[in-house]
Amino acid sequence: KAGVTQTPRYLIKTRGQQVTLSCSPISGHRSVSWYQQTPGQGLQFLFEYFSETQRNKGNFPGRFSGRQFSNSRSEMNVSTLELGDSALYLCASSPDGNEQFFGPGTRLTVL
């Protein structure tokens, strides 16, 4: 089975812009979770979607949003980018939200 794919792999944006990241889960997996990884804060949970519904949300501002499509693919959006949003954004795929398998991540740099 193909693993989790994330696009793009690298992204450079400037403050104030918005960005959309994409995640394609493992075939048959219906749960997609997003995490932010930074050197200072480590891995932090953003949100989880299951069958197009957001089931859980982490402690991030409303500038961070996401959605899931009927084919389980997911996107996350960050509006009004700040320097502190520079991070590795990881998508995790799961059949049901239990065992979670991560993609390679999208490295976002905000200048």
Which residues of this chain interact with other proteins, rule CB under 8 A? 4, 31, 33, 35, 42-45, 48, 50, 55-56, 58, 90, 92, 94, 97-105
For other proteins, give the closer residue by CB, 39 or 62: 39
Residue 74, beta-bridge partner list? 23, 68
What token pair was written down for 21? 């990241």
Query: Among 1, 63, 70, 69, which residue's Cα sits nearest to residue 36?
Result: 63
CB of 16 to other proteins, least distance (A): 27
CB of 91 to other proteins, least distance (A): 8
Cβ–Cβ under 8 Å, residues 4 and 91:
yes
Residue 22, beta-bridge partner list? 7, 75
CB of 52 to other proteins, least distance (A): 15
Rg (CA), the chain: 13
Helices (H) and strands (E) in the chain, counts: 0, 11
For other proteins, give the closer residue by CB, 80 or 89: 89
For other proteins, give the closer residue by CB, 73 or 101: 101
For other proteins, give the closer residue by CB, 40 or 62: 40
